[in-house]
Amino acid sequence: MKKPTVLGCLALVVLGVVVLALGGCGSYNRLVGLREGVDRQWAQVENTYQRRLDLIPNLVRTVEGQANFEKGTLTDIAEARASVNQIKLAPGQAPDEATLQQWEQAQTKLGGALGRLLAVSENYPQLQANQGFLGLQAELAGTENRIAVERGRFNEAAEAYNRDLRKMPTALYAGMMGFTPKPYFKAVSGSEAPPKVEFGFGKK
């Protein structure tokens, strides 16, 4: 009688291990998919911010042609853009929280410099009549709106991944499998609106 009891206990242990293993595989595969979704959405965030960076040289060249344009404003733009490029991001994956904060601070500084450039530009009637400048201004406004959309989508993807990461029994072994929480974009004071792009048309 003892022998079947021991075998029965062993069978239950083996069955439990198999169930846990299968559950672990399922959780692993699900987390991989969610993490890939976060990284894919991060690529979209990078693309929209890169679009803003790409517009800046043309914008600067346009305003540089105006006599006596405030050189300090252009210097601020150049320095802010350089600070963004100095931050090293791992290709193909969302950054950790510390890197994201550093990167976002640099992007916020650049956005502020762009806002000041556009505000100063209102003092130059020739710029207000320059079709090339107006086209760049429209592209920049569209890009700022797109940035807000992609940031929101990134946060949604990160939330879905983080929520699954905290569920039981996944939470018991997710860390051992190399899965860690993803950071969110956080609101910065004034970030609810894109840089000022109004040029005061019609003002005298």
Q: Is the peptide bond before 181 cis (omega within 30 degrees of 0)?
A: no
**pLDDT at 150 exceeding the cut of 80:** yes
What is the pLDDT at residue 188? 60
| Range with the poorest average pLDDT among 85-94, 152-161, 172-181, 186-195 | 186-195
Cα 64 to the chain's mean position, in Å?
30
**Residues ≥6 apart with Cβ < 8 Å to 100:** 94, 183, 185
Cα 152 to the chain's mean position, in Å?
9
- The DSSP-derived string for 81-94 is HHHHHTS---TTS-
Phi/psi region, residue 137 (left: phi>0; alpha: psi -120 to 50; beta: rest), is alpha
Query: What would the pLDDT profile of 1-60 be if each residue is shown by its tens digit?
Result: 445 576 666 666 655 555 455 455 667 888 889 999 999 999 999 999 999 999 999 998
Query: What token pair was written down for 140?
Result: 């920049």
Could you tell me which CATH number the domain at 15-177 has? 1.20.1440.20
Query: What token pair was written down for 109?
Result: 């500084």
Q: Answer with the residue of higher pLDDT: 137 or 192.
A: 137
Mean pLDDT of 70-87: 91
Identify the DSSP state of 66: S
- Residue 84: other Cβ atoms inside 10 A: 18
What is the pLDDT at residue 156? 96
**Residues ≥6 apart with Cβ < 8 Å to 30:** 164, 170
Predicted confidence band of residue 103 (pLDDT cuts 50, 70, 90): very high
